[in-house]
Structure 1
Amino acid sequence: MQPEQTFGRGGLNGFLDVDDLIDRIGLDEDEIAWRKEFIGFDEDDERRLADLESMMRDNREEIADDFYENVLHYEQTRAIVDRSPKDVDALKQTQQAYLVSLASGSYDQSYFQNRTRIGKLHEMLDMPLKQYIGQYGVYYDLILSRLNERMQRQVVDAIEEWAAERDTDGDEGGLGRFVGALGLGGGDEEIPDGLEESFEAAVRDAIDDGMMDVLSLLRIINLDMQVATETYVDSYAQRLEESIERRRRLAREVEEDVQTPITELHEASEVVARRAEAISTHTESQANSITTAAGELNEVSAAVEEVASVADEVRTESERTEQLAAAGVDAADEALDELEAIETATDRVADAADSLAERTDEIDAIVERLDDLAERTTVLAANAKIESSRADSGGGETMGVIASEVRSFAEQTKSDLAEIESAVEAVREDAAATVETTEETVARVDTGTDRVRKTVDSLEEIHDAAEGTAAGMEDVAAAADQQAHGVEATAETLEGLSDSADKVASAAESMAAASQQQTASLREVHDSVTRLTDDDPGVEPPAYERID
């Protein structure tokens, strides 16, 4: 199969709808005609390109080899070749066909349709546009070098043709005529200024003809580049439109998704703002309360210090109480000993009273006997007096005296006995009173002894309690000191809390401001999201969306 037959028939054509692509880029006959006219491509260019076909065909293999040697030299372009379904030899065949087609095409719609296919196939291989356009620089080097040789041959042929024509018109030899045409002259002949006009015209025409060939080739390559570039632009436009559509679809989805959260967040932000203001107010009040509490704690700290001082005094007084209680216990013990001694003495008094009662009873017996004796004496005196009255003699007087004396003795004895009896009765009464008093005293001593014992017990308990109180007061004093330090530390902490509360209040104010700002930002976000899906026909789309 000839290379021309393999051109544009790669394996990727099954994924390409060229007609649809032509329609999208608007490459109809009128557009092609306009583009040709715009760059000056006409029938003369077609003729000149046709004249270049043999040169292209003869150099196609060498140009294709040199072209792919350059392509495979670079890693980026070599990666594109690796992605192609064709191997390097097949790609070289395609390249040869493209070179020949540049000079053998009809340059109608089918020609540019094929060029559209070529550009799209390169884009489908993800060849960057810089590489695709850059390849034409390689073409310029490879093709124009051949055109340069062709042009040089054309100039030489024109000179030879000019010389041949001059051979038929004059007698001078060809070399002499050529030297004369160059204005070099010889011998004594006059040297003309510059080239001979006919020679210069022939050279200029040959060069101009060669440059027109170059221009014709550059024009068709330019038309090819336009079409290929538009396939890239079409692909970019499609991607952009798809991206825009995805963006719009995503924007609609985002708007639908975020509408409710934004509304809720907006409401929440307002609530947060209000609560932040309330927090700020409460925190400020808290800071004031903490400041007040700190002042009160300072007062409490002073009171605690006073309590500690009083505790020290109480501890001292408790120690003194302990000493007094100990002394009271000792005194109570002594009193108890004295009471026991009194009880012993009382017992002795009771015994003495009992003995006195017994003696009194004995005296009563004696008094009774004396009283009986007095009675008997009285009787005796009476009898003696009776006997004396009977006697008539002097002896009667004596008996009368005895009787008088006995009677007097008996009366005196009765009188003494009455006094003794009275005295004994008084003694008996006193002894009874003494016994009663002694018994009462014993009872009281017993009661006092019991009370003293209870007092001793109480004093011992007081002593123990005083010792415990003294120890407890030491603990109270230590705790009061520790409490004083704790209150001072708490006061310092409250001062720190007050500062923190002030900072929190400030932060809450900032948070309220930030929340308000957030609410405003959310409103802006909502408006922005709304604008993402706002397809207002009165607003002109950006330039990249205006695809012709």
Structure 2
Amino acid sequence: MDPDETFGRGGLNGFVDVDELVADLGLDESEIAWRKDFIGFDEADAKRLADLEPLLRDNKNEIADDFYDKLLTYDQTRAVIDWSPKGIDALKETQSAYLVSLATGEYDRDYFANRARIGKLHELLDMPLKHYVGQYGVYYELLLDRLNERIQQQVVDAVEEWATDRDDETGRGLEGLADALGFGAGSAADDPALDASFESTLRDAIDDGMQDILALLRIINLDTQIAVETYVDSYAQRLERSIDRRHRLEQQVDKDVQRPLDELHEASEAVAEQAEAISQYGDEQATAVTHAGGDLDEISAAVEEIASAADDVSAESDRTERLAADGVDAADDALSDLEAIESATERAASAADDLATRTEEIDAILERLDDLADRTTMLATNAKIESSRSGAEEQTLVVIANEVRSFAERTKTDIADIEDAVEAIREDAVTTVEATEQAADRVDTGADAIRDTVDSLEAIHDAAETTATGIDDVAAATERQARSVEATADQVDDLSETADRLAETAESLAAASQEQTASLQTVREAVARLTEEEHSREPPVYEQLA
């Protein structure tokens, strides 16, 4: 197949509806005619382009190679080339066919419909507009380089033709050319002007070349217009689709968001009411906390008093304990002394008993002595009586003598016994005195110990009184603390109730917040759809082909 026939026949054509595209661009006959007239493209330009066809055909492969070599040096344009379903060789063939088509078209509706299709294919390939328009700058350099050579050759050919014609007329050959350039012998020295006919020939040749360039630039300009409009049309369609989607989404979002917004409004009012209630509860709680703080201050002061009193009580308790210990020791000593006193007393009692026994014995002796005295008296009396009697005096005296002797012996014995008894009494008295002295000493020592014990007990009593007073202070402080604690408990109860109300309000607030969150989530999702739709786009066709 001729490469020219493959121009624009790649795999992307299935995605292009040319008739619809042309209709969208408004490319009817009158529109095409207006565009040609606006830039001055006419039949003369079509004729000139037809004359350029051999030049373009002969240079198409070289131009295509140079063109793609240029594009492949840039990462951006190379990336677009990589997206194409065609390989680089196929792309070069397509480019060569396009180059030739510039000079072989009818430049009618079909021609420009084909140009619109080519522009659309580049847009489908996701080629940026700057690349598409910019590559014509590459084209200009490659084409004008060939046209420059062609124009120069046309000037040379026109000069040669003029010179040939002039030689035929004058027969002067090169001298005629020198004269035409103003350097001949027949030319005025001060007027080296070109020959008018020669100048006209040069101007006509150059003008003819420039007209060829203008014809080529005009047809490329028309092509560029169509291609750019395919981009603009695509952008406009995308914009319209985006606007339609946005409009539909706005309607849907408005529908979806209205209910959540209403709920959000209601929830916001509920939240505001709950917040106000929380504020009131917070004020009440703050007041209660202030009162509780005052009660706690009192508790703290009472605790300090208790602590101080407790310290005093502790000191007094220690002192009482020491005094009590001293009292115990003194009591133990007194107890020991009292035992000694009891022992001495027992010995004194025993000595007293012995003394009593001895005294009884003395009493008995004294009774006998008294009896003896009575008997002696009686004897004396009898002796007197008997002495007065006669005859019986001698016998009576004997009896008296015997009795006196017996009395004397007995008296002597009794006296000895009395002496013994007295001696025993004396010894017992000494023992008694010693025991009594010991008892006195013990009694004195015991008295001192008892006095010490009494003093200790008095100190203990005083300490006990101080302790009792401290305990009373502790009790009073404890009572005040109890009242403060009770008041604090009441405040805590109030705080607890307030906290319960706050908790209930917080639960209500949390529920309202959850409703708000759900509503906001619905709104967020709806808005996200708007954002996603705004930024989403269909994948490029080359990705669909892949």
Secondary structure of the equivalent of 1:68? Answer: helix
In 1, are the aligned partners of 2:147 and 2:213 still within 8 Å (CA)? Answer: yes
Corresponding letter in the other structure for 1:215: L
> Deviations 1:473-511 (Å, cap 9, x if unpaired)?
8xx99x99xx9xxx9xx9xxxxxxxxxxxxxxxxx9xx9
Which residue number in structure 1 is paired with residue 313 of structure 2? Answer: 314
- Quote how far apart the aligned CAs of 1:297 are: 3.1
The TM-score with structure 2 as length reference comes to 0.58
5 Å-filtered alignment, 1:124-523, equals 124-171=124-171, 173-186=172-185, 190-318=189-317
C-alpha distance in structure 1 between counterparts of 2:137 and 2:78, whole Å = 17
Shift of the 133–306 alpha-carbon distance from structure 1 to 2, 3 Å rule, reads: same
C-alpha distance in structure 1 between counterparts of 2:109 and 2:86, whole Å = 27
- Quote how far apart the aligned CAs of 1:18 are: 0.8
C-alpha distance in structure 2 between counterparts of 1:3 and 1:316, whole Å = 123
- Quote how far apart the aligned CAs of 1:285 are: 4.3
C-alpha distance in structure 2 between counterparts of 1:104 and 1:120, whole Å = 21
In 2, are the aligned partners of 1:3 and 1:97 still within 8 Å (CA)? Answer: yes
Corresponding letter in the other structure for 1:206: A
C-alpha distance in structure 2 between counterparts of 1:201 and 1:176, whole Å = 19
In 2, are the aligned partners of 1:184 and 1:191 still within 8 Å (CA)? Answer: no
C-alpha distance in structure 2 between counterparts of 1:319 and 1:69, whole Å = 112
- Quote how far apart the aligned CAs of 1:252 are: 3.1
Which residue number in structure 2 is paired with residue 56 of structure 1? Answer: 56
Which residue number in structure 1 is paired with residue 108 of structure 2? Answer: 108
In 1, are the aligned partners of 2:18 and 2:117 still within 8 Å (CA)? Answer: yes
5 Å-filtered alignment, 1:35-54, equals 35-54=35-54
- Quote how far apart the aligned CAs of 1:323 are: 7.1
- Quote how far apart the aligned CAs of 1:299 are: 3.4
Corresponding letter in the other structure for 1:263: D
Shift of the 302–49 alpha-carbon distance from structure 1 to 2, 3 Å rule, reads: same
Shift of the 317–90 alpha-carbon distance from structure 1 to 2, 3 Å rule, reads: closer
> Deviations 1:153-200 (Å, cap 9, x if unpaired)?
1111222222223223335x2322222222234599534243222222
In 1, are the aligned partners of 2:181 and 2:192 still within 8 Å (CA)? Answer: no
Corresponding letter in the other structure for 2:178: V
Shift of the 124–321 alpha-carbon distance from structure 1 to 2, 3 Å rule, reads: same
The TM-score with structure 1 as length reference comes to 0.58
> Deviations 1:321-346 (Å, cap 9, x if unpaired)?
66787869998998xx99xx9xxxxx
Corresponding letter in the other structure for 2:279: S
Which residue number in structure 2 is paired with residue 8 of structure 1? Answer: 8
C-alpha distance in structure 2 between counterparts of 1:239 and 1:220, whole Å = 29
C-alpha distance in structure 2 between counterparts of 1:54 and 1:105, whole Å = 14
Corresponding letter in the other structure for 2:7: F
C-alpha distance in structure 1 between counterparts of 2:257 and 2:22, whole Å = 42
Which residue number in structure 1 is paired with residue 364 of structure 2? Answer: none
- Quote how far apart the aligned CAs of 1:202 are: 1.6
> Deviations 1:271-315 (Å, cap 9, x if unpaired)?
323333333344344444434443443333223222222223333
> Deviations 1:119-153 (Å, cap 9, x if unpaired)?
11122222222221122112111111111111111
Corresponding letter in the other structure for 1:220: I
Which residue number in structure 2 is paired with residue 421 of structure 1? Answer: none
Shift of the 311–243 alpha-carbon distance from structure 1 to 2, 3 Å rule, reads: same
In 1, are the aligned partners of 2:181 and 2:195 still within 8 Å (CA)? Answer: yes
Corresponding letter in the other structure for 2:201: A
In 1, are the aligned partners of 2:64 and 2:95 still within 8 Å (CA)? Answer: yes
Shift of the 161–191 alpha-carbon distance from structure 1 to 2, 3 Å rule, reads: farther
C-alpha distance in structure 2 between counterparts of 1:188 and 1:242, whole Å = 76
Question: More displaced, 211-220 or 4-13?
Answer: 4-13
Corresponding letter in the other structure for 1:177: G
C-alpha distance in structure 2 between counterparts of 1:247 and 1:30, whole Å = 36
Question: More displaced, 220-229 or 84-93?
Answer: 84-93
C-alpha distance in structure 2 between counterparts of 1:188 and 1:198, whole Å = 15
- Quote how far apart the aligned CAs of 1:235 are: 1.8
C-alpha distance in structure 2 between counterparts of 1:45 and 1:187, whole Å = 42
Q: CA RMSD in A?
A: 4.2
Shift of the 183–291 alpha-carbon distance from structure 1 to 2, 3 Å rule, reads: farther
Shift of the 68–316 alpha-carbon distance from structure 1 to 2, 3 Å rule, reads: closer
C-alpha distance in structure 1 between counterparts of 2:147 and 2:198, whole Å = 22
Corresponding letter in the other structure for 1:90: A
Task: Give the gaps of 5 or more residues in structure 2.
Answer: 343-456, 489-505, 531-546
Task: Give the gaps of 5 or more residues in structure 1.
Answer: 342-458, 491-507, 533-548
Secondary structure of the equivalent of 2:256? Answer: helix
- Quote how far apart the aligned CAs of 1:211 are: 0.8
Which residue number in structure 1 is paired with residue 17 of structure 2? Answer: 17
Corresponding letter in the other structure for 2:41: F
C-alpha distance in structure 2 between counterparts of 1:286 and 1:186, whole Å = 125
Which residue number in structure 2 is paired with residue 90 of structure 1? Answer: 90
Shift of the 226–316 alpha-carbon distance from structure 1 to 2, 3 Å rule, reads: same
Corresponding letter in the other structure for 2:242: S
Percent sequence identity is 65
Secondary structure of the equivalent of 2:35? Answer: helix
C-alpha distance in structure 2 between counterparts of 1:289 and 1:43, whole Å = 102
In 1, are the aligned partners of 2:183 and 2:192 still within 8 Å (CA)? Answer: no
Corresponding letter in the other structure for 1:120: K
Secondary structure of the equivalent of 2:304? Answer: helix
- Quote how far apart the aligned CAs of 1:217 are: 0.6
Shift of the 293–194 alpha-carbon distance from structure 1 to 2, 3 Å rule, reads: farther
C-alpha distance in structure 2 between counterparts of 1:90 and 1:312, whole Å = 109
C-alpha distance in structure 2 between counterparts of 1:247 and 1:71, whole Å = 38
Q: Is 2:105 the counterpart of 1:76?
A: no
Corresponding letter in the other structure for 1:107: Y
In 1, are the aligned partners of 2:176 and 2:184 still within 8 Å (CA)? Answer: no
C-alpha distance in structure 1 between counterparts of 2:44 and 2:272, whole Å = 81
Shift of the 202–318 alpha-carbon distance from structure 1 to 2, 3 Å rule, reads: same
Which residue number in structure 1 is paired with residue 353 of structure 2? Answer: none
C-alpha distance in structure 1 between counterparts of 2:331 and 2:87, whole Å = 132
Shift of the 268–66 alpha-carbon distance from structure 1 to 2, 3 Å rule, reads: same
C-alpha distance in structure 1 between counterparts of 2:28 and 2:144, whole Å = 31
C-alpha distance in structure 2 between counterparts of 1:175 and 1:239, whole Å = 69
Number of residue pairs the alignment of both structures matches: 363
In 1, are the aligned partners of 2:167 and 2:173 still within 8 Å (CA)? Answer: yes
